[in-house]
Each structure stands twice: as C-alpha cells, then as structure tokens.
Structure 1
Amino acid sequence: MSDAATRILEQLQAQNDLRMQAANDIAQAVASRVNAENALTEAKANEKAAFTNALKKGWTQQELNKISPARATRKRAAKTQTAGE
C-alpha cells in the first residue's frame, strides 16, 4: 500500500475513533439515565409499601398526608405558581 493510502486510512481511522468515543459517551449517558429511572421506580414502590404498612400499623391517612413528599411537592408548586402569576 502506498504512503498516501496509508495516511488516508490513518486519518479516517482517527475520525472513526472520535465518532466511536462520542457514541460510547451517549451509550454511557443513556445507561446512567435508565439505571436512575429504574432506581426511582423501585424507590417509589418502596415508599408506597412503607405508607401502606404504616396505615396497617395504625397511622391515619390524614397523619401520613402531612409527611407525604407528594403533598410537600404540591405545596411548593402551588406557591411557585401563585408567586409567578
């Protein structure tokens, strides 16, 4: 193979290496997001089970509503909307 052909192939290989690194970065980011989503789904299920168990152990729904993160999120969202309007 000629020197010119070898240089061209080396340049193309270098470009391909950069592209593959970018593809690898994307794959890693997607995998990280999927893992985080799976962890969130599991955490939500654990939270729901804990609240259900608390009801069985004598807590009332009203008492649990006071400590529910979903309720706190709704309050913060309502305050933000009121302030922004």
Structure 2
Amino acid sequence: MSDAANKILEQLQAQNDLRMEAANDIAQAVAALVEAEQHLEQAKAGVKQSFAAALKKGWTQAELNKIGSPTRRRPRKKTNGTSTSDES
C-alpha cells in the first residue's frame, strides 16, 4: 500500500477513534442514568412501604400529609418569573 493510502487510512482511523470515544461516553452516561432510575424506583418503593407501615402503627393520613405523602409530592417546575400572557 502506498504512503498516501496509509496516511488517509491513519487519518480516518483517528477520526473513528474520536467518534468511538464519544460513543463510549454516551453509553456510560446512559448506563449511569438507567442505574440511577433503578435506585430511584427502589427508594420510592421504600418510602411508600414506610408510609404504609406508619399508617398501620397509628399515624393518620392527615398527619403524614403534613410531612409529605409520597403520592402527593411532585417536583416544582422552575419558572423564569414571566408568563406568556404578560408579553405584548
């Protein structure tokens, strides 16, 4: 193979190596996300079980609602302080 062909192949291999590095980073990030979601689901189940056990031990739903029932807590949406209805 000629030097010119080898040089082209080396350049293409270097570009492909960079692309594969990026693909590997994406794969690792997705795997970490999947693992975190699994942990979150386990934690949610634990909270739900704890609240159910508290009810069985004499706590009332109203009392538990004051500290935050797992089914009633929702993350708040971030707002930028303006709404579209305010704009003219």
**TM-score of the two chains, using structure 2 as the length reference:** 0.77
Match of 1:26 in 2: 26
Q: Kindly report structure 1 stretches of 4+ aligned residues shifted beyond 6 Å.
A: none
Name stretches of at least 5 consecutive residues in structure 2 with no aligned partner: 84-88
Q: Among all aligned residue pairs of Structure 1 and Structure 2, give the percentage whose two residues are the same amino acid.
A: 64
**TM-score of the two chains, using structure 1 as the length reference:** 0.80
Match of 1:13 in 2: 13
Name stretches of at least 5 consecutive residues in structure 1 with no aligned partner: none
Match of 2:47 in 1: 47
Partner SS state of residue 58, structure 1: coil
* RMSD of Structure 2 on Structure 1 (CA): 2.5
Relative CO higher for 1 or 2, CA cutoff 8 Å, sep ≥ 6? 2
Match of 2:59 in 1: 59
